[in-house]
Structure 1
């Protein structure tokens, strides 16, 4: 039944349907986006592979820098940010 499932004329029909559905103006844009995505995926996969094996056989103590400690006085809540500053004059 599916002995000759994908023949050249099937590909031609699929190409014609894609051109009719998406239009000839959108296809280069879509191909460019797909190529850019593939390059990003390839570079990220390569970076992950390089992260697994340290360069030169030496290990580092910490791969990521530690962030500075945040004290409770540094944190501003949304209600504090929206409240106006208190007036300096006396109220009668």
Structure 2
């Protein structure tokens, strides 16, 4: 595995569900939905949505991140539920938890 990533942000698809991956990139957008934190992580290849629960290790540090912060994350690729699939995004069927 590369020290900073196993995949690019634009490479993950539904067929990768269940895989543990490492991504690196810039915080494109961050949304707080009452304790559940969503981050759109961007690199030169695309976007991947990250989902963090309050019990996620490092959650407090991630809460303090600003747009354009550079981060590396490890997580599991999971399939999004049908109602939250984003058809406008190549990685819209998955998210990283």
- TM-score under structure 2 length normalisation: 0.13
The structure richer in strand per residue is 2
- TM-score under structure 1 length normalisation: 0.14
Q: Which protein is bigger by CA-based radius of gyration?
A: 1
Relative contact order (C-alpha < 8 Å, sep 6+): which is higher? 2
The structure richer in helix per residue is 1
